[in-house]
Structure 1
Amino acid sequence: MVKSRVEEELIALQARGNNHREVLEDSYNAETLHHIAVMEWNADTEVIITDQKKNIIISSSKLDKEEKEILSKKIEPVPRNGKILENRWKSEKYISTVSPYTVNGQQKGYVFMFKSTDQVQSLISRLSHHFLVAAVITVTLLILTILFLTKSITTPLIRMKKATEKLSRGDFSVHLTDMGEDELGELSRSITILARDLKHLKEERSEFLSSISHELRTPLTYIKGYADVARQKNIEDKDRERYLDIIYEESEKLSDMIKDLFNLAKIDQNTFIIHREKVQLCSYLRGICEKMMPAFKEKGMKLEIDCSENIYVMIDPMRFKQVFLNLFDNAIKYSDPYTKINIFVKREKGDVLIEIRDEGHGIPREDLSFIFERFYRVDKSRSRDFGGTGLGLSIVKELVEAHQGRIEVKSEVGKGSTFLIWIEEMTE
């Protein structure tokens, strides 16, 4: 920028000399020469007009040694627009230019322009001072910006680092304050959500293990107790058979529970393979209903299905059959005799909605959000009496979601429950 500024000064000096040349060429006389000298008298530049041999005709000020040395330099040839004689503003006293002028078509002499380098250096000094001030301001703002960024970015990151260290030690009591809507805020919320989910998983795992130990202990206690009684030699055969029947019944419950746990374990480990195929939903459902009909008739219950004939879905028939069997079995257990179960199938926004509606006992509102959790029972004693494991609805939910579907339940105590399943319809 300094170099550019000096070049601007030299160009301006040369232009001023060319202007004086134009005036001389228009009217070359003593009055014009005097007028040019007077013009430069109070300016920050000096002018010297010479003849062809560089003899001074007029000067705006008295020449000093440095100006005489510049005049003595060889200047031939000089182009019409002039040229720069001296541009060493750092080491010399003057910068200088020369412009030739002509009278009556012939070159008459030269117009020399001088400008003190003190003025140029003063200008450069002011320019440097401005840049120094700008640099100080810039550095100050940069330091303030770094401090601000350190506080607004580094401090939250340190807090989040400490939070993740707590999570790694198994301490899930982590809560980070809201840090805004930017990426840091999203990361903070994600860590808080992760901590909450991990805490929930830890509690769920503890509850799950406790439930398993309790559910396994109950039938094993029955089996062991009645087996000890049945081994006694002084009991009647009729009582022995009754005890053996109880042992067999509890063994069946235990086998069902282990089977359900095995299925859930495979789903959790993503080893539960789904073999999808194109299925005509209505005929598929009617086939399942026919197999379940004896169980409904045994309790005097009706099973009705309302379904169109042209709905196709991509499902695993064996896996999805387990969904309906579990839901039907659930409806039979928790409904009174001579009630009715309805199945409705319809299209809804590109999906197929399957409603299974019973007239059973219903589910309390406070239990609805937990109904699909493992080992959760609304009425534990009733469920055990009927042989339930508390895993059936968990398996139903996992199987539906494995088919990229979703399941919900609506219920009212004393009025029954409705299970709603959405799965994607297969288009032709």
Structure 2
Amino acid sequence: MLRNREVQILLVLLLSITAIGFIVAALFISMPAAVLVLTVSIGLIGSSLIFTKWRYREIQKLSVYLKQISSGDFHLDVRDNSEGELSLLKSDIFKVTRMLSEQGALLHEDKAKLTNAISDISHQLKTPLTSMIVMADLLRDKGLEDGKRAEFTRNLQVQLERMEWLVSSLLKLSKIDAGTVFFKKERVLVAPLIQAAVDPLLIPMDIKMQYIKINGDEQVSFIGDFHWTAEALINLIKNSVEHTSEGGEISIHFSENALFTEITITDNGKGIAKEDLPYIFRRFYKGKNAGDDSVGIGLAMAYSIITSQHGDIEVNSQPGVGTRFQIKFYKQVI
């Protein structure tokens, strides 16, 4: 402590004041008064040094505490619930420690999610890649029949399109998760939005001879992003198309009230098993009625897009009867 330059300066200053006070008291008052001044001054200097030493000891404890934090130990509590500058400093350090602990936990959770996502992506890409490698080897055979060559080429094209869709969807999901997607906040008319979502699916619906019914007021609208919301609806309607048999019906109804704008997509397809309902919006989850080509990412993307715009989506389904997706975009977030 005494090697500290600030303490040395303070000590010299106090001793100088003591010496001056002793001399003045001895010359102008009396020797007993001078002795009293000297005694009191020495007591004050000693008290100051004791207090300074105590503060040094407390600061040293804080230094040890910070070293433990830097080594990853966030469980110590340095607070003493007292008044004073050191107590306030201890309290602030504890708050920062808790914040670092929470951020560390979030980073660890994000790391685990990233690891799982990479594992899931690898698993999803492995099957089409293996199939493509096999078909590429078969196509090298010069004696392969033209019909088989055309079939393998067609299958190869299908697998490539599937991989392109998967990678594109994962990139979109990653952007949403990272918060780098800027969702526009503009008035979106629901009627043109539904039409934009249905158009890309008209051919698959025509092949399966499915009937689609759209019902709603032309003026119904909400505040959101047209293109991203259309992306979400495409995935929801696509799910209905895939799980509805030939000649089935898909119904889309939209309405608006003082609280929210609602879009309902209903089909009379296979339905979703009761035990699958809590998990269908989970990434890469495949229910019992999922097809072999299902990846389990379309509904997860739709959920992320809608909830990122302060919307809400619910699903009700009964096996053998059909499924209903109910989307709500609220007028004001409370």
Counterpart CA distance in 1 for 2:59 and 2:264 is 56
Which residue of 39, 45, 53 corresponds with 1:143? 53
Matched, 1:396 2:302: yes
Counterpart CA distance in 1 for 2:63 and 2:180 is 43
Which residue of 215, 222, 226 corresponds with 2:124? 215
DSSP-derived class of the 1:313 partner? strand
- Map Cα deviations across residues 351-382 of structure 1 (whole Å, 9 max, x no partner): 656565667305747963x8344xx2234994
2:5 counterpart residue number = none
Q: 1:271 to 1:237 in 2, by over 3 A?
A: same
Q: 1:90 to 1:230 in 2, by over 3 A?
A: closer
Counterpart CA distance in 2 for 1:89 and 1:261 is 86
- Map Cα deviations across residues 81-139 of structure 1 (whole Å, 9 max, x no partner): xxxxxxx86336xxxxxxxxxxxxxxxxxxxxxxxx54xx5356445534543443444
1:361 counterpart residue number = 272
Letter in 2 for 1:371: F
Please show how residues 267-346 of structure 1 align to structure 2 within 5 Å: 277-280=186-189, 282-288=190-196, 291=199, 292=201, 298=208, 300=210, 309-315=219-225, 317-334=226-243, 338=248, 343=253, 345-346=255-256
Counterpart CA distance in 2 for 1:124 and 1:366 is 91
Contact 1:179 1:185 in 2 (8 A): yes
Letter in 2 for 1:228: D
Q: 1:222 to 1:178 in 2, by over 3 A?
A: farther
What 5-or-longer segments of structure 2 have no aligned partner? 1-23, 82-90
Contact 2:25 2:33 in 1 (8 A): no
Letter in 2 for 1:391: I
Counterpart CA distance in 2 for 1:371 and 1:178 is 40
1:405 counterpart residue number = 310
Which residue of 250, 269, 279 corresponds with 2:159? 250
Contact 2:258 2:331 in 1 (8 A): no
Contact 2:185 2:223 in 1 (8 A): no
Counterpart CA distance in 1 for 2:266 and 2:45 is 78
Letter in 1 for 2:99: S
Q: 1:133 to 1:327 in 2, by over 3 A?
A: same
1:42 counterpart residue number = none
TM-score, length of structure 2 as denominator length: 0.64
Give the number of equivalent residue pairs: 293
TM-score, length of structure 1 as denominator length: 0.53
Deviation at 1:279, TM superposition (A): 2.2
DSSP-derived class of the 1:309 partner? coil
Counterpart CA distance in 2 for 1:348 and 1:177 is 51
Deviation at 1:219, TM superposition (A): 1.4
Counterpart CA distance in 2 for 1:156 and 1:411 is 54
DSSP-derived class of the 2:187 partner? strand
- Map Cα deviations across residues 241-290 of structure 1 (whole Å, 9 max, x no partner): 4434323322221222233244456667877666664322x323442465
Deviation at 1:325, TM superposition (A): 0.4
Counterpart CA distance in 2 for 1:218 and 1:307 is 45
Deviation at 1:161, TM superposition (A): 1.6
Which residue of 46, 64, 71 corresponds with 1:155? 64
Larger mean CA deviation between 251-260 and 354-363 belongs to: 354-363
Deviation at 1:160, TM superposition (A): 1.9
2:39 counterpart residue number = 129
Contact 1:405 1:421 in 2 (8 A): no
Q: 1:294 to 1:251 in 2, by over 3 A?
A: closer
1:105 counterpart residue number = none
Counterpart CA distance in 2 for 1:299 and 1:178 is 68
Deviation at 1:300, TM superposition (A): 4.8
Contact 2:26 2:33 in 1 (8 A): no
Deviation at 1:328, TM superposition (A): 1.7
Q: Larger helix proportion, structure 1 or 2?
A: 2
Counterpart CA distance in 1 for 2:175 and 2:136 is 33
Counterpart CA distance in 2 for 1:178 and 1:365 is 44
- Structure showing greater radius of gyration is 1
What 5-or-longer segments of structure 1 have no aligned partner? 1-87, 93-116, 164-173
